[in-house]
């Protein structure tokens, strides 16, 4: 191994330039491997910075499906550019630009990437597992929140999964449309056959992807929760309306009821994840604290599953994760982040981290859309291709 590659270590983001992204007019951030702490008062841009990193790595915001929201007010585009360190020793240059009304522009090493699905599934050279306080809805919210979590995870691993999920949703919409036409006497039942086949073929692939992930997620969720919460056994299981093998049959069985209701009642678009702690349903009975830790436990399980699938450690982007936790759990998390390939964690309060942890971390100060990146021993600004300072 060359000196250069051993220095770069596992994939991680080294630098990010933000232009007109949320409250950043123009800012530069430098990150190191291991723990990076973004600290600042409220409403200064900590969450926006984490969102920008995830936007650069995946091509989309994890917080909003309305891209125009990330554009600085009164600006006509937003752009993020990053440098990703790769274990082979080279560096990947990534850029995502968005102007409302136009197609998003994604570039890897200056070459346009046409497929967002390809880019989101590792095109940037690094994947991210994110935690935003709003993610609590994965545990607390509706089945669709949990399906979204699972689909986003699997889409980050394989572009074909993302494409199939999209096509499946469209096919279900079209089947629903046809069901209502049949019910209202505008179409004959015969045409349903074609859509049933399409829906069941695509749905089977979605179900298979989810089925493959579940035992891993369950095992890692149990292990994470043991560390994060305590000895009560935690479990995550798939609660499905059909299995991959009997989906086609289940659709057929549901036909007449579906026609009556005008909607498709079975399939992956109706499924759910059940989260339990000590045998108790976390969605219904979990305390706020348990639900928050379970959200984190799921994210850590997702990280482990992704690592096993692609052979690379995803980075962690964790927004305000230390608040509302007791001392013991904060210490555990700090160790967890220090041991990770890269964790970028936001906080209003540096005191959540011990002196020893701070000594081993890089601190970025965030104030009114400006970022001051602290240096670490690993800093070598020249190699990032960006000049430091103004």
| List of residues contacting ligand ADP (CB under 6 A) | 22-23, 40, 42-48, 69, 71-73
The smaller minimum CB distance to ligand ADP, of residues 250 and 345, is found at: 345
Dihedral, 203, 60, 30, 73 alpha carbons, nearest 10: -160
Q: Determine the size of the site formed for Mg ion (CB under 5 A).
A: 2
Residue 73 binds which of Mg ion, ligand ADP, none (CB < 5-8 A, kind-dependent):
ligand ADP
Residues in Cβ contact with 153 at an 8 Å cutoff, skipping those fewer than 6 apart? 213, 302, 305, 306
The smaller minimum CB distance to ligand ADP, of residues 71 and 266, is found at: 71
Alpha carbons 362 and 378: distance in angstroms, whole number: 10
CB of 306 to Mg ion, least distance (A): 25
CB of 132 to Mg ion, least distance (A): 8
Residue 280 binds which of ligand ADP, Mg ion, none (CB < 5-8 A, kind-dependent):
none
The smaller minimum CB distance to Mg ion, of residues 276 and 318, is found at: 318
Q: What is the DSSP string of 324-358?
A: T--HHHHHHHHHHHHHSSEEEEEES-GGGS-HHHH
The closest alpha carbon to 29, from 18, 12, 16, 13, belongs to 16
Residue 268 binds which of ligand ADP, Mg ion, none (CB < 5-8 A, kind-dependent):
none
Residue 72 binds which of Mg ion, ligand ADP, none (CB < 5-8 A, kind-dependent):
ligand ADP
What 3-state DSSP class applies to 83?
A: strand
Residue 40 binds which of ligand ADP, Mg ion, none (CB < 5-8 A, kind-dependent):
ligand ADP
The closest alpha carbon to 321, from 13, 35, 122, belongs to 35
CB of 348 to ligand ADP, least distance (A): 8
Select from 40-48, 154-162, 301-309, 373-381 the region that touches Mg ion (CB under 5 A): 40-48
The smaller minimum CB distance to ligand ADP, of residues 69 and 208, is found at: 69
CB of 24 to ligand ADP, least distance (A): 8
The smaller minimum CB distance to ligand ADP, of residues 272 and 319, is found at: 319
Alpha carbons 274 and 283: distance in angstroms, whole number: 8
Measured from each CB, the residue nearest to Mg ion is 47
Dihedral, 378, 379, 380, 384 alpha carbons, nearest 10: 110
CB of 369 to ligand ADP, least distance (A): 7
Is residue 58 within 8 Å of 156, Cβ to Cβ?
Answer: yes
What 3-state DSSP class applies to 265?
A: coil
Residue 23 binds which of ligand ADP, Mg ion, none (CB < 5-8 A, kind-dependent):
ligand ADP
Outline where the chain has alpha helix (H): 3-8, 46-58, 116-118, 137-140, 143-157, 159-183, 192-228, 247-261, 282-285, 288-310, 327-339, 355-359
CB of 55 to ligand ADP, least distance (A): 12
The smaller minimum CB distance to ligand ADP, of residues 59 and 209, is found at: 59
H or E stretch at 385: none
Dihedral, 138, 212, 128, 43 alpha carbons, nearest 10: 0
H or E stretch at 125: none
Residues in Cβ contact with 185 at an 8 Å cutoff, skipping those fewer than 6 apart? none
Residue 60 binds which of ligand ADP, Mg ion, none (CB < 5-8 A, kind-dependent):
none
The smaller minimum CB distance to ligand ADP, of residues 42 and 188, is found at: 42
CB of 48 to ligand ADP, least distance (A): 3
60 binds Mg ion (CB under 5 A): no
CB of 308 to ligand ADP, least distance (A): 32
The smaller minimum CB distance to ligand ADP, of residues 117 and 366, is found at: 366
47 binds Mg ion (CB under 5 A): yes
CB of 80 to ligand ADP, least distance (A): 13
Binding site for Mg ion (CB under 5 A): 46-47
């Amino acid at each position: 191994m060359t000196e250069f590659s051993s220095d770069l270590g596992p994939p991680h983001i080294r630098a990010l330039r933000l232009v007109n992204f949320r409250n950043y007019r123009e800012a530069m951030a430098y990150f190191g491997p291991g723990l990076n702490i973004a600290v600042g008062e409220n409403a200064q841009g900590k969450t926006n910075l984490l969102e920008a990193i995830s936007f650069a790595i995946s091509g989309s915001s994890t917080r909003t499906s309305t891209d125009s929201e990330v554009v600085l007010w009164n600006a006509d585009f937003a752009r993020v550019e990053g440098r990703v360190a790769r274990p082979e020793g080279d560096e990947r240059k990534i850029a995502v630009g968005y102007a409302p009304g136009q197609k998003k522009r994604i570039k890897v090493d200056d070459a346009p990437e046409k497929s967002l699905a390809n880019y989101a599934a590792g095109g940037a050279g690094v994947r991210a597992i994110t935690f935003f306080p709003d993610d609590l809805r994965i545990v607390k919210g509706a089945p669709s929140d949990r399906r979204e979590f699972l689909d986003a995870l699997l889409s980050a691993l394989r572009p074909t999964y993302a494409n199939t999920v999209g096509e499946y949703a469209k096919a279900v919409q079209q089947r629903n449309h046809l069901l209502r036409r049949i019910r209202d006497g505008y179409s004959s039942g015969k045409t349903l056959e074609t859509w049933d086949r399409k829906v069941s073929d695509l749905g089977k692939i979605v179900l298979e992807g989810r089925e493959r992930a579940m035992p891993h997620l369950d095992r890692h969720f149990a292990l994470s929760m043991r560390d994060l919460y305590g000895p009560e056994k935690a479990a995550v299981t798939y609660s499905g309306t059909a299995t991959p093998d009997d989906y086609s049959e289940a659709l057929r069985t549901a036909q007449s009821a579906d026609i009556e209701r005008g909607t498709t009642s079975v399939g992956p678009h109706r499924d759910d994840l059940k989260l339990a702690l000590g045998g108790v349903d976390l969605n219904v009975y979990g305390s706020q604290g348990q639900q928050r830790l379970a959200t984190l436990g799921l994210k850590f399980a997702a990280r482990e599953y992704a690592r096993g699938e692609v052979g690379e450690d995803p980075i962690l982007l964790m927004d305000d994760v230390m608040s509302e936790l007791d001392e013991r759990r904060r210490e555990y998390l700090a160790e967890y982040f220090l041991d990770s390939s890269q964790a970028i964690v936001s906080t209003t309060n540096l005191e959540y981290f011990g002196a020893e942890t701070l000594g081993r971390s890089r601190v970025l100060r965030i104030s009114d859309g400006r970022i001051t990146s602290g240096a670490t021993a690993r800093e070598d600004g020249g190699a990032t291709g960006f000049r430091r300072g103004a």
